[in-house]
C-alpha cells in the first residue's frame, strides 16, 4: 500500500533482510514511522562536506578527503566547525518499490548539530533511491557546540516510503476540517500547513534561546544534565519582535499547536526563501500521534531551529516561517508517538534538547 511505512513494517524489513546491521536493533530504535540510525566505531575528519556522486562509493571519497580518523569506541569529541563522516551500523538492500528519506532527530537539530545521511552513488543528502543496496553514512558538522559521541548513538533517522502519498492542498483542507490539525492560530494551507512564530507568549516574556559562541563540550549521553545558562542566552521581549543576528542559532517555538493523526506522518519543510534570510528547522520528522488526543496529546507546538544568514533580520509575531507537509501512512503504527513511548517532546512548548535541565 502506498505511503510511509509504520513501525511494524520497518521491523519486517529487518526480518526479510532489507535492513541489516552487525549489532542487533535496540529497544526504542524503531519509531512509529521511522528508524533511528546508529553511529559506528570510527569517525573520519574530512576537509569538506561532499556527496559521493553517481557511480562512486563513499569510501573512495573518504580516502580523497580524509584528514585523520578517530576511534569512537571509548568516546571522542567531534569539534565545532569541523566535518566528520561516520559509517553507520545499519545497511540497506531495499526492494525496487521502496525508497527512503533521512533527517536529523529532534535533539540533534536542537543542538545545531548538522547531521545528514549520505550513500554510495548518492547525488543528494538524505535521499535514498528505490532499490538502494549498500552502506549508510552520517555526515556530522557541529555548528554551535562540540559534542562527545560513542558508537550506537542515534543522531539521525530514516523513513521508508512506497510511492508518494503527500497530501495536496485540497486533501489537507479536508483533513483539517475533520481533525483540526492546528489550534492557537488559523490554518494557513499552501503546499503544506503553515507554521508561524510565537513572539507574544501567554505568560512571561521569554521567546527564544540563542546559542552562546564559546561553551564546553556536550556529552550526548547525559540527559537533563547541563545548565542552560552555560550554553544559551535566554531572550525576552514584550514587543512581539526579535532581531536575528547573522550566523547566530536560535531556538524558538511555533504559535500553533500541531496535531498529527494516527494515519498520517508529517515533515517540516522550509518556507519560501523570499520571506527572510534565515533557515528554519534542521530536524523535520513529526510522527503519527504527535500532539494528538489519541496519543495523550492536546496539541504540541513545533520547536523552530533557526539560523540567520547574511544580514540581521526582524522576525515578527505570527510571521509564517515554515510548513508541515503531511503524508498518508501505509498502515497505522502499532505504537503512536507519546502513547507509552519515551517521547521527550509530546505537549512541548519552547524547549531545549533533552540534554539540558528544565
302-355 pLDDT, tens digit each: 888 888 887 898 999 998 888 899 999 999 999 887 655 545 444 457 899 999
Estimate to the nearest angstrom the gap between the alpha carbon of 74 and the chain centroid: 26
pLDDT at 276: 54
Any residues with CB less than 8 A from the CB of 184 and at least 6 apart, and which?
255, 256, 257, 299, 301
Residue with cell 585523520: 68
CB contact burial 293-324 (16+ within 10 A = b; e otherwise): eebbbebbbbbbbbbbeeeebebebbbbbbbb
pLDDT at 280: 64
Rounded distance between C-alpha atoms, residue 340 and residue 320, angstroms? 33
Which domains are seen in the chain, by residue range? Answer: 3-162 (2.70.40.10), 169-328 (2.70.40.10)
Mean pLDDT of 107-133: 95
Reading phi first (left if > 0) and then psi (alpha if -120 to 50, else beta), residue 93 is in: beta
Span 179-238, pLDDT tens digits? 889 887 678 898 899 888 999 998 999 999 999 999 999 999 999 999 999 999 999 999
Q: What is the DSSP letter of 8?
A: H
Mean pLDDT of 288-312: 77
Q: What is the DSSP letter of 166?
A: B
Task: Reply yes or no on whether the pLDDT at 275 is more than 60.
Answer: no
Span 127-164, pLDDT tens digits? 999 999 999 999 999 999 999 999 999 999 999 999 98
Span 81-110, pLDDT tens digits? 999 999 999 999 999 999 999 999 989 999
Asked if residues 315 and 119 have their Cβ atoms less than 8 Å apart, the reply is: no
Phi first, then psi, for residue 147 (nearest 5°) are -130, 150
Estimate to the nearest angstrom the gap between the alpha carbon of 124 and the chain centroid: 17
Amino acid at each position: 500500500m502506498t505511503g510511509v511505512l509504520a513501525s511494524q513494517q520497518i521491523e519486517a524489513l529487518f526480518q526479510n533482510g532489507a535492513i541489516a546491521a552487525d549489532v542487533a536493533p535496540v529497544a526504542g530504535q524503531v519509531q512509529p514511522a521511522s528508524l533511528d540510525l546508529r553511529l559506528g566505531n570510527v569517525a573520519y575528519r574530512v576537509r569538506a562536506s561532499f556527496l559521493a556522486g553517481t557511480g562512486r562509493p563513499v569510501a573512495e571519497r573518504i580516502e580523497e578527503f580524509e584528514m585523520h580518523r578517530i576511534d569512537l569506541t571509548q568516546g571522542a569529541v567531534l569539534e565545532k566547525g569541523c566535518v566528520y563522516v561516520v559509517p553507520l551500523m545499519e545497511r540497506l538492500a531495499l526492494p525496487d518499490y521502496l525508497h527512503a528519506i533521512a533527517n536529523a532527530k529532534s535533539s540533534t537539530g536542537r543542538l545545531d548539530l548538522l547531521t545528514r545521511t549520505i550513500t554510495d552513488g548518492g547525488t543528494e543528502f538524505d535521499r535514498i533511491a528505490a532499490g538502494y543496496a549498500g552502506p549508510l553514512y552520517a555526515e556530522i558538522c557541529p555548528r554551535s557546540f562540540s559534542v562527545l559521541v560513542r558508537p550506537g548513538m542515534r543522531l539521525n533517522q530514516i523513513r521508508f516510503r512506497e510511492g508518494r502519498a503527500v497530501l495536496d492542498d485540497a486533501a489537507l483542507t479536508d483533513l483539517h476540517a475533520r481533525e483540526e490539525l492546528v489550534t492557537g492560530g488559523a490554518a494557513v494551507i499552501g503546499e503544506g500547513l503553515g507554521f508561524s512564530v510565537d513572539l507574544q507568549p501567554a505568560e512571561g516574556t521569554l521567546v527564544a534561546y540563542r546559542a552562546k559562541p564559546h561553551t564546553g563540550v556536550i556529552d550526548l549521553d547525559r540527559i537533563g544534565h547541563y545548565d542552560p545558562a552555560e550554553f544559551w542566552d535566554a531572550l525576552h521581549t514584550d514587543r512581539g519582535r526579535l532581531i536575528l543576528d547573522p550566523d547566530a542559532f536560535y531556538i524558538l517555538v511555533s504559535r500553533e499547536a500541531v496535531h498529527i493523526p494516527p494515519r498520517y506522518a508529517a515533515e517540516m519543510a522550509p518556507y519560501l526563501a523570499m520571506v527572510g534570510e534565515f533557515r528554519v528547522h534542521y530536524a523535520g520528522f513529526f510522527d503519527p500521534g504527535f500532539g494528538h488526543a489519541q496519543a495523550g496529546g492536546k496539541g504540541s507546538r513545533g520547536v523552530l531551529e533557526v539560523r540567520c544568514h547574511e544580514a540581521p533580520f526582524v522576525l515578527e509575531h505570527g510571521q509564517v516561517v515554515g510548513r508541515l507537509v503531511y503524508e498518508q501512512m501505509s498502515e497505522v503504527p502499532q505504537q503512536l508517538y507519546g502513547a507509552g513511548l519515551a517521547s521527550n517532546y509530546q505537549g512541548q512548548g519552547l524547549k531545549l534538547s533533552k540534554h539540558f535541565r528544565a
